[in-house]
Structure 1
Amino acid sequence: MKDYFRLLSYARPIEKFAIPYVITTLLYILFNTLNLALLAPLLDTLFNSRTAEAIAPDSLPTIEGDQKWWDVMGMIKQIPDYYIHNYGPQEALKFVCIVIVVSVFLSNIFKYLSNRTMEDLRIHTLLSLRRSVFNNVMNLHLGYFNSQRKGDIIAKVSSDVQVVQFTVTNTLQVVFKEPLTLIVYVALLFAISVKLTLFSLLVIPISGFIIAKIVKRLRQQATKAHETFATMLGYLDESLAGIKIVKAFNATEYVKDRFHQENVTYSNITRKMARRQQLASPVSEFLGVIMVAGIVYFGGSMVLTGQSTLSSAEFITYIAIFSQVTRPAKALSDAFTGIHTGLAAGKRVLDLIDVKPELIDKPNAVIVKSFDNSIKLDDVCFSYGEREILSHVNLEIPKGKTIALVGPSGGGKSTLMDLLPRFVEPQSGNIYIDNLNIRDVNIQSLRSMMGFVNQESILFNDTIFNNIAFAKPNATMDEVIAAARIANAHDFIEESEHGYETFVGDRGVRLSGGQKQRLCIARAVLGNPPLMLLDEATSALDTESEKLVQDALYKLMKNRTSLIIAHRLSTIQNADTIVVLEKGKIIEQGSHNELMLNDGLYRRLIDMQTFED
């Protein structure tokens, strides 16, 4: 129940919905019950042969009679008697029919308002819960995503949240509406016949016990189903993202088989769950029929033998009301099956919400507004588990200088770059920006000092304008065009179908590799940050575009601090300092000419032209 109440907290302010829901539901239940209670006077009016003269005046309703307030059926029965005595049987029938129509109309009006209020609560809960989950995911550190399947996260944010919000609201609905309906029906049954009702209440717990046995294993199966569905979504995402590789390596059948195996597993689990859920409904319905048949036999025998004071009309009304008792009882049993499924999904969602980002701002973190001197790495070490990536790295990046990182694959270049914006945190050592430890600096302000261009061109399924203005949403068209010109992107943008309003497609699929990279460079240029982090920004460009963009980047980096992961000689030979990394350690650093004279690893890499990430 702890998980349920946590999930319920996302429905706040719940009183905004609960108060109107309670009022409308109460009115619906009262009028709906009145519809059934009016069956007795209707049958009495139709089949009772009494005339106005045959009705004793002392049996008519009076303002100050000795009628007990709890004798509801007694009061209702007096209504047709009153009309028969004063206006005749036909007028009495007309009055009863009008009352039934009005009662049904009002019960349906309040039912609509009740359902509408509950739907508003459901949507409000979904909005609040999904916002909380997504916000927490976006706040998590990058390391979390390296250890999680994307499909599992997508499943939790989409389908699991959907299941949870139905569980929360449906449970509220069932917990209040169905028990109250059941109580009102049972109270009315007691008002008609205490003896019959006591007999009927003996068989209801048997039905509940059987239903509970059927749904016992649903929660465990539901948890497994959600996990399998998440894995299947992960396979789908990977297959779509890597469709070109799938086709290139003739791996279509392998991908199909892998997805099919997970799909079969998921289908088998859902089939078992469906069988249990579907079994609950016919079993409860069959047990309900058995109870009704038992009541008909037991009560009918008493009526036929004269052992009961019930009239035929009252007995038929009793059966009609009792048949309705099984509906809220069945709804309660169905709710328990849904609760088990929903709580399984809710546990997964809460687990995601409970994940806390490892990198957060300290209280009173310093907001940096400028970069004036240098960035220093002091004895920095970093590991993924037991695997050491960086070992005792010491490096200074002076303002206005260009630093190039080179070295064999796996040397730690990308990790070193990720440390500066605090995408990851070193296990030991410190990093300073203008003598401020970046652990003491507000993360958002730190990252605002930096522009990023990755080797992998990351674009969003939006317009070219919005992709360039991603980090500066209030940018003007002139600013975006100026950035695009520097990145040598303006000409091909103008030639596009809708210019800057052209959609680039999912992950920029409608653009070539060079075009995507130029848009990423334009995005970095627009922010105009004092520090540029470039992970081989020209690697995807053709020779002509590379030359033009390289010239633009040189101008951009002039009087600006730049850290470049370099794979090509043309990119690094003009860097102020070249840092050579191997196995997480800095083994050489200096200018191009200095390192060439050292005849070390850098010289061998230049000779081999193997600048790879």
Structure 2
Amino acid sequence: MKDYLRLLSYAKPIEKFAIPYIVATLLYILFNTLNLALLAPLLDTLFNSDNASAGAKVAKTLPLEEKSWWDIMARFKEITDYSIANYGKQGALKFVCIVIVISVLFSNIFKYFSNRIMEDLRIHTLLKLRKTVFDNVMSLHIGFFNSQRKGDIIAKVSSDVQVVQFTVTNTLQVIFKEPVTLIVYVILLFTISAKLTFFSLLVIPLSGFIIAKIVKRLRQQATKAHETFAIMLGYLDEALSGVKIIKAFNATEFVKNRFHQENINYSNITRKMVRRQQLASPVSEFLGVMMVAGIVYFGGSLVLSGESTLTSAEFIAYIAIFSQVMRPAKALTDAFSAIHTGLAAGKRVLDLIDTKPELIDKPNAITISSFQNAITFKDVSFAYGERQVLNRVNIEIPKGKTIALVGPSGGGKSTLMDLVPRFTDPQQGNIYIDGINVKDVNTNSLRNQMGFVNQESILFNDTIFNNIAFAKPNATLEEVTAAAKIANAHDFIIEAENGYHTFVGDRGIRLSGGQKQRLCIARAVLGNPPIMLLDEATSALDTESEKLVQDALYKLMENRTSLIIAHRLSTIQNADEIIVLEKGTVIEHGTHHELMKNDGLYRRLIDMQTFEE
């Protein structure tokens, strides 16, 4: 119950929907009840004119608490008797049919608005809940995504949220509407039964034709809804896959807004689709009752003319079938069965919402606007569980210098680099930028001082221009072009189908590895940061691409402070200092020539790579 009430809180302000829903539903039940309640005295009046005042006489003998209901029946019979006296039975019959059609029309109008209001509440709840879940996911620390299955996160944000919003709002609808409807119908129609196969066969063809027209358009809207939902899931997949780049370039709010906008588009399409879907039921019922009214008029005419043996009881039984007493009972059963599934999905969604980021800024975090001196590691240690990755590392990265990290796989190079922009924090020791502990620095301002080029070229399914301008959404074409030229990317871009407005495909699938990497370098150049973090930026490239990328990296590192992780050691021989890590410990450091003279691990790595080549 606690989880349900918490999920219900996402429907606020619920009174905005509840009040009009209650009014529309009560009016629907009122007119729907009158369709059945008034039919019996109407037909009795028509076919038993000698007892025209029977209802009024009965009303006089009833107790006070029952008099009001029968008084209404008597009044209506009086109106019918007046019609018979002045216009004849044929005229009164027309009056009966018109009253039935009008009553059913209003009943279905209010039914439609009742369902429409409830659907607006569903969409409202879904929009708020999904936005809350996604915003929280994008605010979580990098370590969370290393320990979670991406598919599970996607399921929670998409299908689980969908189940939750339907269950919460459907329960509200069933609890109010169905019991009231069920009680009224059971009281009025409990003792009524009849076989109406003939009448049903008359209703189905016409209703089926009209509903088919509605469903034809509904299929088109459903296809569009699926396409929009797929786009939204694509944004979600890209956001989860590129979360490091998003955080590195402080684009979290941009991604949140882009996803939220697509969420709104999908919600609007769904709203239109469901409105049309819900229109099918009242239209079908209204058409069915129109057929009934026609048959009542036709059959009544036969009775009046003596050409038929139909009785008033048969007419009443015919109308009663449309009450569908079992419908609200079945709806109640289905709702209480489905609520367990909804609450299970709700628990998963709430667990994701309750997950808090491990890295948050202090209340009075310092905002830095430039980089002046050095980045310093002091006794930094880090471990994944029981596996020690870094052990009391002490490093200084002076401004304007290029520092390279080398060593065997698993030595802690990537972990050490992730500590600089605070993707994660060390368990022991501290990292300082210009003498300020990074834990005391505003994270966004810290990352604004840094540019990133990773081993995996992370691009989004967007244009080349937007991928380069990711770090600077308001960048001009001239700025983007200048960055692309520095990254040796301009030539292949202008040869593309639409130049800078060419779509790169999912994760840049339409580009080669070297082209994708050069776009990533151009993105980093455009941000113009004083610090560059390069993680295996030239690995897995062919020789020609490597030369182009390496040349772009040299341009990128000019007049900047650079921290490089190198797979091919030949690319870092000109570094100001090379730090050799093994099992999380710095075992050597110096220039290339100094380390070659030491005849240590670095020399062995160089010799091994030279031999392999």
Same fold (TM over 0.5): yes
1:480 paired residue number? 480
Q: Secondary structure at the match of 1:162?
A: helix
1:439 paired residue number? 439
Structure 1 residue 577 and structure 2 residue 577: aligned? yes
CA separation of 1:610 and 1:6: change in aligned 2, threshold 3 A: farther
Report runs of 4+ in structure 1 exceeding 6 Å deviation.
none
Cα root mean square deviation, aligned: 3.0
**Deviation at residue 34 of structure 1 after TM alignment:** 1.1
1:373 paired residue number? 373
Q: Secondary structure at the match of 2:471?
A: coil
CA separation of 1:611 and 1:79: change in aligned 2, threshold 3 A: farther
Distance in 2, Cα, partners of 1:447 & 1:150: 25
Q: Secondary structure at the match of 1:431?
A: strand
Q: 2:73 aligns with which of 72, 76, 80?
A: 76
**Deviation at residue 585 of structure 1 after TM alignment:** 0.3
Deviations 1:20-77 (A, max 9, x none): 21111111111111111122123213431427xx748975999xx9976764244224
Structure 1 residue 5 and structure 2 residue 11: aligned? no
Instruction: Trace 1:125-140 onto structure 2 (pairs within 5 A).
Output: 125-140=125-140
Give the aligned residue type for 1:79. Answer: F
The more displaced of 32-41 and 319-328 is 319-328
Give the aligned residue type for 2:362. Answer: K
Whether the 8 Å contact between 1:487 and 1:518 is mirrored in structure 2 is yes
Give the aligned residue type for 1:358. Answer: E
Distance in 2, Cα, partners of 1:556 & 1:415: 23
CA separation of 1:470 and 1:56: change in aligned 2, threshold 3 A: closer
Give the aligned residue type for 2:516. Answer: K
The more displaced of 87-96 and 496-505 is 87-96
Structure 1 residue 430 and structure 2 residue 427: aligned? no
Q: Secondary structure at the match of 2:516?
A: helix
Distance in 1, Cα, partners of 2:450 & 2:29: 63
Distance in 1, Cα, partners of 2:425 & 2:70: 75
2:455 paired residue number? 455
The more displaced of 177-186 and 429-438 is 177-186
Whether the 8 Å contact between 1:373 and 1:399 is mirrored in structure 2 is yes
Deviations 1:279-310 (A, max 9, x none): xxxxxxxxxxxxxxxxxxxxxxxxxxxxxxxx
CA separation of 1:24 and 1:609: change in aligned 2, threshold 3 A: same
Whether the 8 Å contact between 1:408 and 1:611 is mirrored in structure 2 is no
Distance in 1, Cα, partners of 2:430 & 2:442: 16
1:501 paired residue number? 501
1:43 paired residue number? 43
Whether the 8 Å contact between 1:25 and 1:110 is mirrored in structure 2 is yes
Whether the 8 Å contact between 2:365 and 2:442 is mirrored in structure 1 is yes
Q: Secondary structure at the match of 1:534?
A: strand
Instruction: Trace 1:551-570 onto structure 2 (pairs within 5 A).
Output: 551-570=551-570
CA separation of 1:611 and 1:37: change in aligned 2, threshold 3 A: farther
Distance in 2, Cα, partners of 1:487 & 1:14: 54
2:336 paired residue number? 336
Distance in 1, Cα, partners of 2:564 & 2:539: 12
Which 5+ residue runs of structure 1 have no aligned equivalent? 198-232, 242-310
Instruction: State how many pairs are aligned.
Output: 493
**Deviation at residue 187 of structure 1 after TM alignment:** 6.1
2:417 paired residue number? 417
1:400 paired residue number? 400
Deviations 1:93-131 (A, max 9, x none): 333322211111111111111111111111111111111
Deviations 1:591-613 (A, max 9, x none): 1111112111111111112899x
Give the aligned residue type for 1:538. Answer: T
TM-score, normalising length from structure 2? 0.75
**Deviation at residue 462 of structure 1 after TM alignment:** 1.2
Give the aligned residue type for 1:492. Answer: F
Give the aligned residue type for 2:72. Answer: M
Deviations 1:237-266 (A, max 9, x none): 9xxx9xxxxxxxxxxxxxxxxxxxxxxxxx
Which 5+ residue runs of structure 2 have no aligned equivalent? 193-232, 242-310
Distance in 2, Cα, partners of 1:500 & 1:322: 63
Whether the 8 Å contact between 2:380 and 2:394 is mirrored in structure 1 is yes
Distance in 1, Cα, partners of 2:54 & 2:186: 31
**Deviation at residue 358 of structure 1 after TM alignment:** 0.9
Whether the 8 Å contact between 1:140 and 1:356 is mirrored in structure 2 is yes
Distance in 2, Cα, partners of 1:506 & 1:346: 31
2:521 paired residue number? 521
Distance in 2, Cα, partners of 1:338 & 1:609: 62
Instruction: Trace 1:273-284 onto structure 2 (pairs within 5 A).
Output: none
2:387 paired residue number? 387
CA separation of 1:163 and 1:132: change in aligned 2, threshold 3 A: same
Instruction: Trace 1:36-435 onto structure 2 (pairs within 5 A).
Output: 36-50=36-50, 55=53, 59=57, 71-85=68-82, 86-87=85-86, 88-185=88-185, 320=320, 324-435=324-435
Distance in 2, Cα, partners of 1:356 & 1:589: 39
Distance in 2, Cα, partners of 1:60 & 1:115: 39
Identity of aligned residues (%): 77
CA separation of 1:576 and 1:443: change in aligned 2, threshold 3 A: same
2:464 paired residue number? 464
CA separation of 1:318 and 1:366: change in aligned 2, threshold 3 A: farther
Whether the 8 Å contact between 2:53 and 2:74 is mirrored in structure 1 is no
Give the aligned residue type for 1:13. Answer: P
The more displaced of 550-559 and 380-389 is 550-559
Give the aligned residue type for 2:527. Answer: G
**Deviation at residue 489 of structure 1 after TM alignment:** 0.7
Distance in 1, Cα, partners of 2:118 & 2:583: 60
Distance in 2, Cα, partners of 1:425 & 1:611: 38
**Deviation at residue 139 of structure 1 after TM alignment:** 1.2
TM-score, normalising length from structure 1? 0.75
Whether the 8 Å contact between 2:55 and 2:70 is mirrored in structure 1 is no
Distance in 2, Cα, partners of 1:352 & 1:441: 27
Whether the 8 Å contact between 2:56 and 2:74 is mirrored in structure 1 is no
Distance in 2, Cα, partners of 1:30 & 1:111: 11
Q: Secondary structure at the match of 1:452?
A: strand
Give the aligned residue type for 1:468. Answer: I
Give the aligned residue type for 2:110. Answer: F
**Deviation at residue 83 of structure 1 after TM alignment:** 2.7
CA separation of 1:551 and 1:312: change in aligned 2, threshold 3 A: closer
Give the aligned residue type for 1:136. Answer: N
Q: Secondary structure at the match of 2:481?
A: helix
CA separation of 1:611 and 1:178: change in aligned 2, threshold 3 A: farther
1:244 paired residue number? none
CA separation of 1:312 and 1:93: change in aligned 2, threshold 3 A: closer
The more displaced of 151-160 and 75-84 is 75-84
1:512 paired residue number? 512
Distance in 1, Cα, partners of 2:510 & 2:67: 75
**Deviation at residue 407 of structure 1 after TM alignment:** 0.5
Give the aligned residue type for 1:132. Answer: T
Distance in 2, Cα, partners of 1:552 & 1:82: 93
Distance in 2, Cα, partners of 1:104 & 1:428: 75
Q: Secondary structure at the match of 2:587?
A: strand
Distance in 2, Cα, partners of 1:312 & 1:95: 17
